[in-house]
């Protein structure tokens, strides 16, 4: 770099090491190909006339906080909001370009605009499809008769098309035909074992927010559920026919191809053991006591789906509101999120009721629900606590710190480091195989599973020493680190400062503080080992609590 | 190959970090791992340990510990055999364990009331039924906390789960959450840093990390941020630990490996012995496949019981011969037992009302059968035992006060033992 009088200033030194470091990393100084992912996500669209405005929630929230004597947190800073909105809506952190575009924006409604952009982004349906695939069939399902990818692809289409939630649920409950052609079929066939006990409990938990699984064996001690309620719902799943179909493959050999699910009219009933040793029987009967006329003629799952999506009932919208609120705020109004009822007191009941009512009025529009939640004072609150207060329940007046899900972490690591580009392929299969090392299936009749992931020593070891991190930091051509070094070498002002800014933006979606920046710049300008130092700094940022927690 | 993390000869680790502080980095030496010391004191155990053998899915107690050969409808095909404990007989498919029964006790009259996998698992691990307002710590984590907080120099996790995630630590925090060993026959994944990261670079990484980490905690101060740091500190200690070879079973003689069996349960039992030998407080070894709604008897006789018997028999004998049994409590249990009634699929279903657990060692009395069920195995006929009675018995055996109480983050007092009484025949 030349000064006006033609002499080299002291900043040529950093220029020199950066060029060297980049060359060492890339093996060449050729500029990397342009990356689609580096650009801001689409052109910000103007939000539909205050459609996302949650003004109907904020007075209720403020009143509740005031009544409880809570001082709400400050509004979140732009970088806090940016990061959580990307993680919650797209399931990943923003790229450096996306972060810069938002942070430098000046529009007063830029947060609402960002939410619109994110809801139109291709990663939104992808993220929600991933989450709902996990909810519907768990993370571990790998049997050959369950086509996980087909289910995810189907869900992706529904979220992308913005279909009303009741229609999505109706299709999931009634789906029939080939599980390859109709991905929704996989929900039902994944849970048919043990006389569809798992299907019964998942269906009531996920769509109605009711935990009936305990009453499979006995009447509930804390609420009004009876054993017959469980088996009444279970009886809707009688008469299902599952056929394995074979086809000739590319190698000319006939092998398993797909599963066909169909409903055959039946007069079958569910039978169960009562605790007194007697046998109980149940015909299709919904949890509110409604029965199916002539169950031997009806397509029972269609009858069940009608009851679940009955517009007169608010169970379906209520369950979805609670779960979606928990997705964005870290916990539901009611917890566990699928155990809603008078026995389980809700936090902010007025807000819960109002949001449920509005969601119902909207025709169960999921994107609209997201707009309301993300524009509410609760979602807009900082995660920095005001003062020393540690109330028993802060009623969402401070944003909770939440660990990323394994999927969010994986996708964020790839976004931040571009570790996928040097030949490793960013795709769901890769993520799934990575996930599997943290997955544990209990192998029981409920299909229970757990991940050994969040906040554990194996997770820390993976983050510190694992292959993914090794690739991420390798500085191989095309990786974020190599690109950033290359860009830094072309900077007119301090390349070291630029480099440090890039790393902080990539990992933490914020600019470094002055102290943070100057500490690193000082080191870089005075030492020859730039690449190892930058790798170490990036390693530290990616391993930090600030990276792995949504805040 | 030289392990990449050996501290330079003659240099104490903290001393070494002090040297780093004076480098051009200009960052004060990180206090991130302020409790990091060279090595934990090895040698004799100063406290008791517990090994729980966890039968995931709900084991068929009537075909293992409480046979009913005289019950026409519920008895099943298995015959009882005599054991080394006079008057105590168990299943014919448990011959190795039968030889160790003088070290153990069967409790045949447990009523645990929860017949759902998730709730039963929670109950048997914590002593409490699930409650939406608080997540109870697993009993193992409570023990790890009690003992661990008295041992500030210990490089291994205090609480380890083999073949299972185990129960979380609830409000005790992530550092008491079980360290899960997915596969006891394989090395721990990612235990060593990449080859190009030497000790100097690792230390620099940790210093850089500590700056971000501490700033974030200072701003937010919330538990997840603090936990994250604690888990990293624990992880680093383990990476540096001279005990990291503990997880390598290849160091054991072939005869020992053969005695335990090389299946995941047998290997898990052997690893458990190695861990408690070094001072780990709580080790859980899980074995799956017990949810035998169909073909119960085939599954038991051909697969489940041979593995269980080999691992459990070898573990008990090995602990006894090494003089570790008096300091090591062994507990065998699952989330519930299985129905006396045999269903049309030759299976047994979930049954929490009257079932069996086994425990011994840790200095308790042994060789007894406590309580009984009736002729058909349906009702408790003698000496009902509740889950909290088990928890009280185990806690007392571990030498932890029955009055131990924690305050949950919401200010609610929670006892390790709430309302249970230690079984006097065992720990009178």
Q: Residue B169 falls within a domain, yes or no?
A: yes
By mean pLDDT, which of B103-107, B116-120, B161-165 is the weakest?
B116-120
Contact B101, B384 (CB under 8 A): no
Q: Residue B17 falls within a domain, yes or no?
A: no
Task: Report B:162-191 residues touching A (Cβ under 8 A).
Answer: 164-165, 174, 177, 179-180, 182, 188-191
Q: Residue B129 falls within a domain, yes or no?
A: yes
One-character DSSP codes across A211-257: --GGGGTS--SSSS--HHHHHHHHGGGTTEEEEEEEEE-TTS-EEEE
Contact A328, A396 (CB under 8 A): no
Burial class (CB in 10 A: 0-12, 13-18, 19+), A36: exposed
Q: Are residues A149 and A294 in the same domain?
A: yes
pLDDT confidence tier of residue B276, bands split at 50, 70 and 90: very high
Q: Are residues B265 and B138 in the same domain?
A: yes
Q: What is the pLDDT of residue A334?
A: 93
* Strand ranges, E, within A8-102: none
Q: Residue B289 falls within a domain, yes or no?
A: yes
Q: Residue B316 falls within a domain, yes or no?
A: yes
> Which residue in A458, A516, A551 is closest to B189 by CB distance?
A458
Comparing B329 with A443, the larger pLDDT belongs to B329
The DSSP code for B108 is E
Q: For residue B398, how many other CB atoms are within 10 A of its CB?
A: 23
> Which residue in B57, B220, B289 is closest to A401 by CB distance?
B220
Q: Are residues B283 and B420 in the same domain?
A: yes
ipTM of the complex: 0.82
Q: Residue B336 falls within a domain, yes or no?
A: yes
Interface membership of A392 toward B (CB under 8 Å): yes
Q: Residue A48 falls within a domain, yes or no?
A: no
Of A291, A308, A325, the position where a domain reaches its end is A308
Q: Are residues B391 and B289 in the same domain?
A: yes
Comparing B15 with B154, the larger pLDDT belongs to B154
Number of domain units in chain A: 2
> Which residue in A437, A470, A551 is closest to B220 by CB distance?
A551
pLDDT confidence tier of residue B25, bands split at 50, 70 and 90: very low
Q: Are residues B369 and B397 in the same domain?
A: yes
Interface membership of B47 toward A (CB under 8 Å): no
With CB atoms and an 8 Å threshold, state whether A194 touches B115: no
Q: What is the pLDDT of residues B399-422, one digit of tens each?
A: 999 999 988 766 778 899 999 999
Q: Residue A367 falls within a domain, yes or no?
A: no
Q: Are residues B109 and B231 in the same domain?
A: no
Q: Are residues B232 and B372 in the same domain?
A: no
Q: Residue A59 falls within a domain, yes or no?
A: no
Interface membership of A539 toward B (CB under 8 Å): yes
Q: What is the pLDDT of residue A24?
A: 47
Q: What is the pLDDT of residue B3?
A: 29
Q: Residue B23 falls within a domain, yes or no?
A: no
Q: What is the pLDDT of residue A288?
A: 85
Q: Are residues A286 and A413 in the same domain?
A: no
SS3 A549: strand
Instruction: Look at residues B299, B50, B308 and name the one whose alpha carbon lies nearest to residue B166.
Output: B50
With CB atoms and an 8 Å threshold, state whether B117 touches A446: yes
Q: Residue A138 falls within a domain, yes or no?
A: no
Q: What is the pLDDT of residue B156?
A: 87
Mean pLDDT of B371-385: 96
Contact A137, A175 (CB under 8 A): no
**Statement: residue B255 has pLDDT above 50:** yes
The DSSP code for B249 is G
With CB atoms and an 8 Å threshold, state whether B224 touches A445: no
Q: What is the pLDDT of residue A446?
A: 60
Q: For residue A474, how many other CB atoms are within 10 A of its CB?
A: 18
Contact A326, A337 (CB under 8 A): yes
With CB atoms and an 8 Å threshold, state whether A546 touches B212: yes
The overall average pLDDT reported for chain B is 86
Q: Are residues B206 and B179 in the same domain?
A: no
Of A308, A330, A348, the position where a domain reaches its end is A308
**Statement: residue B39 has pLDDT above 80:** no
Q: Residue A301 falls within a domain, yes or no?
A: yes
Q: How far apart are CA A85 and CA A78, in angstroms?
A: 10
Structural domain including B134 reads 45-187+248-427
CATH of the domain at B355: 3.40.720.10
SS3 A104: helix
**Statement: residue B31 has pLDDT above 60:** no
Q: Are residues B119 and B235 in the same domain?
A: no
Of A308, A333, A362, the position where a domain reaches its end is A308
Structural domain including A526 reads 12-26+404-426+453-550
Contacts of B293 in chain A (CB under 8 A): 194, 445
**Statement: residue B99 has pLDDT above 60:** yes
Q: How far apart are CA B95 and CA B262, in angstroms?
A: 18
Measured in angstroms, the CA of A173 and the nearest CA of chain B are apart by 24
Q: Are residues A282 and A414 in the same domain?
A: no
Q: What is the pLDDT of residue A442?
A: 64
Q: How far apart are CA A1 and CA A221, in angstroms?
A: 77
Q: Are residues B233 and B252 in the same domain?
A: no
Q: Are residues B211 and B264 in the same domain?
A: no
Q: What is the pLDDT of residue A491?
A: 85
Burial class (CB in 10 A: 0-12, 13-18, 19+), B275: buried
Instruction: Look at residues B90, B260, B265 and name the one whose alpha carbon lies nearest to residue B184.
Output: B265
Per-residue pLDDT of chain A (551 residues; tens, 9 = 90+): 333 343 333 333 444 444 444 444 444 333 334 444 444 444 444 444 344 555 899 999 999 999 999 999 999 999 999 999 999 999 999 999 999 999 999 999 999 999 999 999 999 999 999 999 999 998 775 666 899 999 999 999 999 999 999 999 999 999 999 999 999 999 999 988 778 888 998 999 999 998 876 666 666 655 666 778 888 899 999 889 999 999 998 888 888 899 999 998 888 888 877 766 677 888 888 988 888 887 788 889 999 999 999 999 999 999 999 999 999 999 999 988 998 988 888 999 999 999 999 999 999 999 999 999 999 999 999 999 887 766 667 899 999 999 888 889 888 988 888 765 544 445 566 777 777 776 666 666 665 666 656 678 888 898 999 888 888 888 888 888 888 888 888 888 889 999 999 999 999 999 999 999 999 999 999 988 888 999 999 999 999 999 999 99
Number of domain units in chain B: 2
Q: Are residues B345 and B220 in the same domain?
A: no
One-character DSSP codes across B291-306: --SS-HHHHIIIIIHH
Q: Residue A282 falls within a domain, yes or no?
A: yes
pTM above 0.95, yes or no: no
Q: Residue B40 falls within a domain, yes or no?
A: no
Q: Residue A32 falls within a domain, yes or no?
A: no
Q: Residue A440 falls within a domain, yes or no?
A: no
Q: Are residues B237 and B356 in the same domain?
A: no
**Statement: residue B303 has pLDDT above 80:** yes
Interface membership of A326 toward B (CB under 8 Å): no
């Amino acid at each position: 770099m030349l000064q006006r009088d033609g002499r080299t200033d002291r900043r040529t030194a950093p220029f020199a090491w950066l060029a060297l470091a980049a060359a060492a990393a890339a093996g060449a100084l050729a500029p990397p190909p342009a990356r689609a992912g580096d650009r801001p996500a689409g052109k910000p669209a103007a939000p539909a006339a205050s459609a996302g405005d949650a003004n109907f929630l904020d007075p209720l929230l403020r009143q509740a906080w005031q009544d409880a004597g809570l001082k709400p947190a400050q509004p979140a800073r732009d970088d806090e909001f940016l990061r959580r909105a990307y993680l919650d809506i797209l399931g990943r952190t923003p790229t450096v370009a996306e972060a810069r575009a938002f942070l430098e924006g000046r529009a007063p409604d830029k947060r609402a605009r960002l939410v619109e952009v994110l809801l139109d982004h291709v990663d939104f349906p992808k993220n929600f499809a991933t989450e709902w695939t996990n909810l519907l069939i768990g993370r571990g399902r790998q049997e050959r008769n369950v086509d996980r990818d087909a289910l995810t692809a189907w869900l992706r289409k529904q979220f992308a098309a913005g279909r009303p939630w009741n229609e999505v649920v109706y299709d999931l409950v009634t789906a029939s035909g080939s599980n390859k052609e109709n991905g929704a079929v996989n929900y039902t066939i994944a849970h048919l074992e043990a006389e569809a006990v798992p299907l019964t409990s998942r269906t009531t938990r996920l769509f109605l927010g009711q935990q009936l699984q305990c009453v499979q064996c006995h009447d509930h001690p804390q609420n009004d559920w009876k054993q017959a309620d469980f088996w009444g719902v279970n009886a809707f799943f009688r008469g299902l026919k599952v056929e394995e179909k074979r086809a000739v493959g590319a190698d000319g050999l006939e092998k398993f191809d797909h599963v066909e699910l169909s409903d055959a009219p039946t007069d079958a009933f569910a039978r169960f053991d009562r605790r007194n040793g007697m046998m109980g029987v149940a015909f299709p009967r919904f949890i509110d006591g409604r029965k199916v006329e002539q169950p031997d003629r009806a397509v029972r799952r269609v009858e069940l789906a009608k009851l679940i999506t009955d517009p007169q009932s608010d169970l379906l919208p209520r369950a979805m509101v609670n779960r979606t609120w928990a997705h964005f705020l870290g916990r539901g109004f009611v917890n566990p999120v699928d155990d809603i009822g008078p026995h389980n007191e809700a936090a902010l009941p007025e807000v819960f009721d109002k949001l449920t009512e509005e969601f119902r009025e909207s025709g169960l529009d999921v994107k609209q629900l997201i707009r309301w939640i993300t524009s509410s004072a609760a979602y807009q609150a900082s995660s920095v606590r005001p003062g020393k207060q540690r109330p028993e329940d802060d009623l969402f007046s401070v944003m909770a710190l939440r660990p990323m899900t394994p999927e969010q972490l994986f996708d964020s690591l790839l976004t931040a480091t571009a570790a996928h580009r040097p030949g490793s392929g960013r795709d769901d299969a890769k993520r799934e195989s990575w996930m599997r090392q943290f997955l544990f299936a209990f192998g029981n009749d409920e299909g229970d599973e757990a991940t050994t992931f969040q906040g554990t020593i194996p997770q820390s070891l993976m983050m510190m020493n694992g292959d993914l991190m090794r690739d991420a930091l390798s500085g191989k051509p095309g990786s974020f680190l190599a690109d950033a070094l290359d860009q830094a070498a072309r900077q007119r002002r301090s390349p070291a400062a630029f480099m440090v800014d890039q790393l902080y933006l990539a990992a933490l979606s914020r600019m470094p503080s002055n102290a943070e920046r100057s500490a690193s710049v000082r080191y870089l300008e005075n030492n020859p080992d730039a690449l190892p130092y930058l790798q170490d700094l990036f390693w530290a940022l990616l391993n930090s609590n600030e990276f792995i927690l949504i805040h | 190959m030289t392990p990449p993390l050996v501290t330079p000869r003659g240099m104490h680790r903290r001393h070494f970090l002090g040297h780093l502080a004076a480098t051009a980095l200009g960052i004060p030496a990180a206090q991130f791992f302020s409790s990091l010391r060279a090595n934990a004191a090895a040698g004799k155990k100063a406290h008791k340990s517990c090994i729980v053998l966890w039968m995931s899915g709900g084991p068929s107690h009537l075909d293992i510990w409480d046979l009913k050969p005289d019950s026409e409808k519920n008895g099943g095909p298995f015959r009882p055999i005599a054991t080394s404990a006079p008057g105590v007989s168990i299943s014919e498919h448990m011959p190795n364990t039968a030889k160790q029964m003088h070290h153990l006790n069967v409790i045949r009259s447990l009523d645990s009331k929860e017949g759902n996998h998730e709730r039963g698992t929670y109950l048997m691990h914590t002593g409490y039924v699930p409650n939406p307002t608080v997540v109870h710590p697993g009993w193992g984590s409570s023990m790890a906390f009690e003992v661990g907080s008295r041992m500030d120099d210990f490089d291994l996790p205090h609480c380890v789960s083999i073949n299972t995630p185990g129960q979380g630590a609830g409000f005790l925090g992530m550092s008491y959450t079980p360290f899960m060993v997915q596969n006891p026959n394989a090395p721990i994944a990612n235990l060593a840093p990449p080859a190009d990261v030497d000790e100097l670079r690792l230390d620099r990484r940790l210093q850089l990390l500590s700056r971000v980490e501490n700033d974030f905690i200072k701003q937010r101060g919330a538990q997840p941020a603090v936990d994250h740091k604690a888990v990293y500190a624990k992880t680093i200690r383990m990476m540096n630990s001279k005990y990291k070879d503990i997880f390598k079973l290849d160091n054991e003689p072939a005869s020992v490996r053969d005695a335990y069996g090389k299946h995941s349960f047998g290997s898990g039992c052997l690893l458990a012995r190695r861990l408690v030998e070094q001072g780990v407080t709580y080790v859980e070894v899980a074995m799956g496949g017990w949810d035998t709604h169909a073909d119960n008897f085939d599954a038991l006789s051909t697969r489940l019981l041979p593995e269980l018997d080999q691992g459990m028999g070898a573990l008990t004998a090995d602990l006894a011969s090494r003089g570790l049994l008096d300091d090591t409590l062994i507990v065998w249990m699952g989330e519930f037992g299985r129905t006396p009634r045999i269903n049309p699929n030759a299976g047994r279903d979930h049954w929490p009302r009257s079932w069996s657990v086994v425990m011994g060692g840790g200095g308790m009395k042994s060789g007894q059968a406590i309580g009984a069920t009736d002729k058909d195995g349906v009702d408790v006929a003698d000496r009902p035992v509740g889950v909290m009675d088990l928890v009280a018995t185990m806690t007392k055996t571990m030498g932890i006060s029955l009055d131990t109480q924690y305050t949950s983050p919401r200010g609610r007092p929670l006892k390790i033992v709430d309302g249970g009484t230690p079984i006097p025949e065992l720990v009178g």
